[in-house]
Amino acid sequence: MIEARMLIGGDRVRASDGGTFDAIDPFTAAPWATVPAATGSDVDAAVAAAAEAFPAWSATPGVRRAELMHALADAVLADADRLALWETTDNGKVIRETRPQMAFVARNLRYFAGYADKLHGRTIPLDNPAVFDYTVRRPYGVCALITAWNSPLSLLANKLPPALAAGNTVVVKPSEHASVTTTELARLATDVGFPPGVINVVTGDGAVGDRLTRHPGVARISFTGGGPAGRRVAANAAERLVPVTLELGGKSPNIVFADADVDRAIVGAVAGIFGAAGQTCVAGSRLLVERGVYDRVVAGVSDRARAIRLGDPRLPETEMGPVANRPQYDRILAVIDTARDAGSVVAAGGGAAEGASLGTGLFVEPTVFADVDPGGALAREEVFGPVLSVIPFDDEDEAVRIANASEYGLAAGVWTRDLGRSHRVTNALEAGVVWVNTYRSTAAQAPFGGTKQSGYGRERGEDALTEYTYVKNVMVDISTEARDPFAIRT
């Protein structure tokens, strides 16, 4: 088995007390790696190492920080096949998705490397011409970066590059359900020359994350995960008035109007919910369909759901792999059973998937529920699995009303050929990300984040840099005359 190591102060280490836990392959249900179970003293050591490295790293010229980030991007691409295989083995996501995600990691590193020497301030003309005013952007210090199990490196690529480009040092804490590739990225960072302590990784369960987010040496936090954990992180941050970015869950509406290219919309709906076995925060789990095309869309989506190829996620022909871990598998099946018992109409799937090619894997059938009550639990609560709720609507106003009747506000999709409608609806939707005639598209340049219970703050794009810097204002009195020391100067 592979033995993962944490990275603290430039050293790849085991837990201080020797504790470990197994990484479980959700396809075989067998352990495939051992991971250190960090102690409180390990967290303290990682924060101390990051704090010690911060003065030199923040003073390092941006062009040099960029060089190291480009070198790490090169290393990721050179090792992309192995990293993708390990991530697939760790969380069950199909190789056809994890492999491109490695390219996305490299792209984000390169994008933010380009900003490392361009963190400009401004000069500000004041009412008093004898005072010269300007701003500079400064890094916070030690940043805690906490990622979820569904896309460990892709999620880390939203946080690590802007933090490093801005001059911060970091302590990364991946999910205990998918830690191995994060520890390997840390090894690559050391290999390409990042100074000791700039990047640190600690592994373990929620107690490790709690210790990290409460730590007095942490100056900023970025968290991706579920709502309950996000609230605890926000509470920990509030105790010390530490700024925090929260990228949480969603119950995203994917809206199909009758004037859309329906065949294209059906493909988009299937990709939006069954890609990554529905285990994405932006999953289009509520499919809102105008009645004029409702039956056609339900039939088309259901037919495609039944045709999805389940199997070994390492094989390129596999379209959907297993659910990432046993607790999530059990929860998804419980949600399906509860919805069926409540009278929801199953149009496709509806249970555990079994077969010789699936072995002991944690497979759930791609499931479609039709005629779902928009106010019911199935349409309101995040499932985080391959379960789609299809809801009919009569007109544009009703579509927007149903879409916004959610505590979440992360993503949304709109399918229409009407340009005016696309702008009206996207303007009215309460979501941080809206796709028109596409779904689950990403770009390093495009800001990402939610509103309402989906969190706050932004990742990716130039907006992400503002999350990892604060503005310092400087006033310089350039006059030569004496001033009254008790007068207010404006």
Q: What is the pLDDT of residues 291-345, one digit of tens each?
A: 999 999 999 999 999 999 999 999 999 999 999 999 999 999 999 999 999 889 9
Task: Tell me: pLDDT of 287 over 70.
Answer: yes
247 is catalytic: yes
Catalytic residue among 281, 382, 430, 467: 281
Q: Tell me the CATH number at 404.
A: 3.40.309.10
Catalytic residue among 247, 365, 430, 467: 247
- Mean pLDDT for the chain? 97
The answer to whether residue 190 is domain-embedded is yes
The answer to whether residue 93 is domain-embedded is yes
**305 and 215 inside one domain:** no
Contact of 345 with 370, CB cutoff 8 Å: yes
**112 and 150 inside one domain:** yes
Distance from C-alpha of 450 to C-alpha of 151, rounded to nearest angstrom: 18
**54 and 201 inside one domain:** yes
pLDDT of residue 76: 98
281 is catalytic: yes
> Is 413 in a helix, a strand, or coil?
strand
Nearest CA-CA partner of 387 in 438, 329, 336, 328: 336
pLDDT mean over 239-250: 97
**238 and 299 inside one domain:** no
Catalytic residue among 93, 159, 173, 251: 159
**407 and 463 inside one domain:** no
Catalytic residue among 176, 290, 459, 467: 459
Structural domain count, the chain: 2
The domain in which residue 296 lies consists of 253-436
67 is catalytic: no
Total-model pTM: 0.96
**239 and 267 inside one domain:** no
Percent of the chain with pLDDT over 90: 97
pLDDT of residue 204: 98
pLDDT of residue 484: 75
pLDDT mean over 86-97: 98
pLDDT mean over 64-73: 98
Three-state SS letters, the chain: CEECCEEECCEEECCCCCCEEEEEECCCCEEEEEEECCCHHHHHHHHHHHHHHHHHHHHCCHHHHHHHHHHHHHHHHHCHHHHHHHHHHHHCCCHHHHHHHHHHHHHHHHHHHCCCCCCCCCEECCCCCCEEEEEEEEECCEEEEECCCCCHHHHHHHHHHHHHHCCCEEEEECCCCCCHHHHHHHHHHHHCCCCCCCEEECCCCHHHHHHHHHCCCCCEEEEECCHHHHHHHHHHHHHCCCCEEEECCCCCEEEECCCCCHHHHHHHHHHHHHHHHHCCCCCCCEEEEEHHHHHHHHHHHHHHHHHCCECCCCCCCCCECCCCCHHHHHHHHHHHHHHHHCCCEEEECCCECCCHHHCCCCCECCEEEECCCCCCHHHHCCCCCCEEEEEEECCHHHHHHHHHCCCEECEEEEECCCHHHHHHHHHHCCCCEEEECCCCCCCCCCCECCEECCEECCECHHHHHHHCEEEEEEEEECCCCCCCCCCCCC
The answer to whether residue 370 is domain-embedded is yes
pLDDT of residue 103: 98
**273 and 385 inside one domain:** yes
pLDDT of residue 483: 72
Task: Tell me: pLDDT of 488 over 90.
Answer: no
Task: Tell me: pLDDT of 111 over 90.
Answer: yes
128-166 pLDDT, tens digit each: 999 999 999 999 999 999 999 999 999 999 999 999 999
**371 and 461 inside one domain:** no
The answer to whether residue 422 is domain-embedded is yes
pLDDT of residue 249: 95
**235 and 99 inside one domain:** yes
**269 and 215 inside one domain:** no
Q: Tell me the CATH number at 147.
A: 3.40.605.10
pLDDT of residue 482: 75
Task: Tell me: pLDDT of 485 over 90.
Answer: no
173 is catalytic: no
Task: Tell me: pLDDT of 490 over 80.
Answer: no
pLDDT mean over 269-279: 97
Task: Tell me: pLDDT of 72 over 80.
Answer: yes
The answer to whether residue 441 is domain-embedded is no
The answer to whether residue 25 is domain-embedded is yes
The answer to whether residue 484 is domain-embedded is no
**130 and 210 inside one domain:** yes
**276 and 180 inside one domain:** no
pLDDT of residue 171: 99
The answer to whether residue 481 is domain-embedded is no
pLDDT of residue 489: 63
Task: Tell me: pLDDT of 413 over 90.
Answer: yes
Q: How confident is the model at residue 193 (pLDDT cuts 50, 70, 90)?
A: very high
Burial 370-394 (b: 16+ CB within 10 A, else e): bebebebebbbebbbbbbbbbbbbe
